Structure 1
Amino acid sequence: MYFLSDRSGWWNLYRWNGLNVGAVAPIAGECAAEPWELGYASYGFLDDGRIVMAVQEGPRHRLVVVEPDRTVRPVDLPYTSIKPYLAVRGTAVALIGSSPTVAPQVALLDMADADPQVEVLARSEHPALEGARVSTPTELRLPVASGREVLALVYPPTGAAADWRAPVIVRAHPGPTASCLLRLDWQAQFFTSRGFAVVDVDYLGSTGYGRVFRESLYGRWGLDDVVDCASVAVHLLSAGRAVPGQVFIRGASAGGYTALHAVAEDGPFAAATAVSAIVDPDRWAQTVPRFQQAHAMRLGGGAGPVRAAAVQRPVLLIHGTADEVAVVEDVRHLAKELTSLGMASKMLLLPDVGHYVASSRRAGAALEAELAHYLSVMTCTADDLRGDGHEQ
């Protein structure tokens, strides 16, 4: 029996022969995706006895083949992101791959060849976007609190010069044990094509850096993830990349919880957008799918519920009325409290939309509302600056 375990500190493949357990191919990388859905397949068996496997190292994925003698051989692919849905039949492997310049594709490889060629079976590109200019990210590694290092993907404004300076949107990924992915992200391109820089942060707890890094967020959620996102923002301000007063944070689901706590303290962020946000971790631990509940319970005990009285910056709340994971009642209550306290908060409710707004029919409306939110804050900041100058 073959199975995945992180007993070594990394999610690796193991084999049990009925008596003993042994590692099939020890790799300093994650051979499994964060378990947020059922039905993942990160490895498969070729009919010649070899094993094909997707491996994540930070925000990057690669495909490897494990030979019968346990030698690990990399497969050259034009992709930096591989979804955990490998399908193997005979010597053929089908996968969904993408890169910062290539939208997800269904590709087929014949592993019988020493140098397998990629046959693209289906593409997800929209014809209207063919040939469109895109912003490609650079990796930023930054020392943060307690001697840790955090990695971020920095997308400059589309077509920007090397010395660009722009409003910045820091994005906290969901999970919170998901991760940044090095792939073509049309949501990021929506903002970079409008003059913003977008920064994805692999904060403490992210997958792709081993078990210790991932589980270190347990009991610290809403604290260390906020520190990491704020540290990246402060670095970009100090480096002259970000415009003061125009640095924002956004997140979806668990990332929304991080974003809300980031503006519940004094820091670099001028505003936050929280999509399908978790407001109360204890309540969320009861509403998540059953197989995720143990993980959700271990995360708790950090910053606690988001409290309206602590919020210091304008907030946009975007939520689906049919969300069964992060219940809409919590967000309604938070919005009502923020309004009663005189905070500049807005709420966009999406009828009949569930937890995954980005893949819903209302995704475009959500992006437009988010853009308008940032522009309104930037306008207020500019007005304040002009007022200060007039008084002087």
Structure 2
Amino acid sequence: MTELCPSPAAGNWPSWVGPDLVAGRTLSFAELKTAGDWIFWLETRPEEQGRAVIVGRRPDGTLVDLTPPDRTIGTRVHEYGGGAWDVRLSGDNPEVIFSDRKTGDLWSTYGERSARVIDGQRVPEQRYADLTWDPTGNGVFCVRETHAGGMPVAALVYVDPMGKETVLAEEADFYAAPRPSPDGAFLAWFSWQNPEMPWTATALSVAPLDRTSLQLGPATDLSGKEKCSIIEPRWAQDGTLYVTSDARGSWSPVQFIGNEAGWTARFLPSVNAEIGLPHWVFGQRTLLPLSDGELLALGIRQGLNCVLHFANGQWEDVSMGAPVNVPERLTNGNFAWIDAREDAPPSLAIGDMTGSSEHFRSSVTFPEGVTQNDLSKPEPLSFQTADGTEAYALFYKPASGSSCLAEGEKPPLVVMAHGGPTGRANPAFAFKVQWWTSRGFAVLDVNYRGSTGFGRQYREALNLKWGVADVEDCLAGVRAVIERNLVDPHRCVIRGSSAGGLTVLAALAHSDLFAAGASLYGVTDLRALAEETHKFEARYLDGLIGRYPEDEAVYLERSPITHADKINVPVLFLHGGGDKVVPLSQAEAMSTKLEQAELHVYPDEGHGFRDRAVVEDALIRELRFYQRVFGEKVA
């Protein structure tokens, strides 16, 4: 007997997740820092046209904006930015140094006073990132990127309060994380050279700093003999330097102790998690040195976040929610962090390692009446992939407090292929997932080979196999959930953005599992990408595909545009007219080769959609596209 269910077919359920929740009313928090008992963070506000502002929480709990209302914080170094500000206490009041996203100017603010330190519109154009206050002076260490025609030139520089710049290092193609020791006597940083990426091979350097001339002495290379990714230098108050290195198979902490004979390295005991994130943006933190050799760390285990405490020579899990970055210490003994749990919107939290915490600012409030029954939570999933190894995904079931599946009905499936491709399926609560699950879709967010969080070997399994291994894993994941009777095999679609768009189109060309696909600012022609992309990724494809133009035949074979004639299902293309990472021409060329293609261009958007109206339109457009494909009434 069929179960009485008042709901329409899964995929068309009435939903509590409107486009305004995904794009309109949600605050965004990033790069939380502390000083004394102050807490600071970068807050992006949709109601102010996406303006990003530094907000401070005083020790008494009062919140205050610390940057002027006519400025928005951000940087375009490496195009992806990050690390566009830093803060310190001067007396009892915070002093902020920041880059203005629109102009590239450097500004400092203190109380009601603000002053421009550097005019970023000078010729040649200069951009600044990874800003770090000098602990013993009034200047700031940072990465500078100079655009004077051709490829940008990177350097480590010191900027004094009057805007005078002292170049500290400029031999490498890329620099990151200039971190002065607490006494200001040393500077640590990491760098890398083309064709490497920061997750394939970096050099960690430490050099003495002459406080009078502000020049570096001879640098010591602490990278070791093995090719590895060694990133995120961070000093303890006693002068011990900590980094995270994947020299032993996955990112994990290494301790460096300096003395008259040099620097001695010590790998900390292994831990069942990966501690480190791919350096796509500046300002990420996964390690926090405490006192007496203790550490707090953000780890990734089976695709899920965990917080780890190192003390007395061993690691243990501690209960501190689901931080975006490692929690930061307050002088009162507590910690502060951005909490991104599976069942609640991101919020700002204060607590300790026992699990005691309070949340004092949320990105958004759920509409009235929403309960846990309306929320879909990720279930870690593993499955065998084409080469016999294990691959991973997060699976989300449909969830609704008012709708249900009819007896025998299986939900349609939305497969998500993340970007990067060195990204990962993030388990944090996201309206972009709930948008689908609340309407009766299941979601499979695939951590295909190449993803972060499973060690270096898993990341490197995509080397020279992009467009093959990632596609195989997405297909294997779909077959796994079909075999487990979790989804409707006739109503599977696949979507992806940027690098994930290539995976989407290749999957459509090489399988018949999907009824449709959506490519959001996705790659279609690898040869054009190799010729047109920006410096940060100019040689990225060397490791993923091969050298260009020497391996042009491989680029041609892996490009979805080569196999357009094999795609016989509808495809939706959404692209920004100002995209400089994956130019609009890629989507235009691909769409003209398909019989069932829809291309919609957002003229003022770049790589990734940020404008509220654009995000809302893209969501609705994609939903209605799938509903039409399934032959259902459009809600």
TM-score higher than 0.5: yes
The 1:19/1:138 distance shift into structure 2, 3 A limit, reads: closer
Distance 1:99 1:196, change over 3 A: same
Corresponding residue for 1:306? 560
Alignment check: 8 A CA contact 2:302 2:380 kept: no
Question: Is the 1:167–1:243 Cα contact (8 Å) retained in structure 2?
Answer: yes
Structure-1 residue corresponding to 2:204: none
Q: Does 1:197 align with 2:442?
A: yes
Among 224, 227, 231, the alignment partner of 2:469 is: 224
**Aligned residues with identical type, % of pairs:** 28
Segment of structure 1 superposing worse, 204-213 or 305-314: 305-314
Equivalent residue for 1:7?
247
TM-score (norm 2): 0.55
CA RMSD of aligned residues (A): 2.4
Q: Give the 3-state SS of the residue equivalent to 1:373 in structure 2.
A: helix
For 1:207, give the aligned amino acid: T
Which of 399, 412, 428 is residue 158 of structure 1 equivalent to? 399
- Asked if the contact 1:41–1:87 (Cα under 8 Å) also holds between the matched residues in 2, the reply is no
Alignment partner of 2:455 out of 210, 222, 225? 210
> How far apart are the structure 1 equivalents of 2:291 and 2:612?
39
1:31 pairs with one of 268, 275, 280: 275
Q: 2:349 aligns with which of 96, 102, 107?
A: 107
Residue of structure 1 in register with 2:578 after alignment:
322
The counterpart of 1:269, out of the listed 514, 524, 528, is 514
Matches within 5 A, 1:268-307: 268-285=513-530, 290-301=535-546, 304-307=558-561
Q: C-alpha separation between the residues in 1 aligned to 2:559 and 2:316?
A: 47
- Residues 1:374 and 2:626 are matched in the alignment: yes
Partner of 2:491: 246
Residue equivalent to 2:307:
63
| Structure label with greater radius of gyration | 2
The question of whether the paired residues in 1 share the 8 Å contact of 2:506 and 2:560 is answered with: yes
Q: Distance in 2 between matches of 1:367 and 1:25?
A: 45
Match in the other structure for 1:390: none
CA distance in 2, matches of 1:330, 1:349: 12
Among 377, 382, 394, the alignment partner of 1:136 is 377
The residue type equivalent to 1:95 in the other structure is: W
CA displacement at 1:234 relative to structure 2: 2.0
Residue among 43, 51, 66 paired with 2:287:
43
Q: Which of 186, 190, 199 is matched with 2:431 structurally? A: 186
* Aligned equivalents of 1:221, 1:369: Cα separation in 2: 29
1-side partners of 2:426 and 2:475: how far apart? 20
- Cα 1:71–1:11 change in 2 (3 A) is same
Query: Partner of 1:123 in structure 2?
Result: 362
Partner of 2:339: 97
Q: Is the 8 A contact 1:83 1:95 kept in 2?
A: yes
Check the 8 A contact 2:297/2:326 in 1, yes or no. Answer: no
Letter of the structure 2 residue corresponding to residue 256 of structure 1: G
Q: Counting strand residues as a fraction of each chain, which structure ranks higher?
A: 2
Q: CA deviation at 1:204?
A: 1.0
Q: Determine whether 1:78 maps to 2:307.
A: no
Q: Which residue of 1 aligns with 2:478?
A: 233
How far off is 1:358 after superposition?
Answer: 6.5
Q: TM-score when scaled to structure 1? A: 0.86
Whether the 8 Å CA contact 1:222–1:261 is kept in 2: the answer is yes
Q: Which deviates further from its counterpart, 348-357 or 168-177?
A: 348-357
Q: Is the 8 A contact 1:276 1:357 kept in 2?
A: no
Distance of aligned partners of 1:131 and 1:78 in 2 relative to their CA distance in 1, 3 Å threshold: farther
- What SS does the corresponding residue of 2:580 show, helix, strand or coil? coil
* Cα drift, residue 171 of structure 1: 0.8
Q: Which runs of 5+ in 2 are unaligned?
A: 1-240, 547-553
Distance 1:45 1:282, change over 3 A: farther
Paired residues of 1:57 and 1:209 also in contact (CA < 8 A)? yes
Point out the more displaced range, 185-194 or 48-57: 48-57
Matched residue pairs, number? 370
8 Å CA contact 1:282–1:300 kept in 2: the answer is no
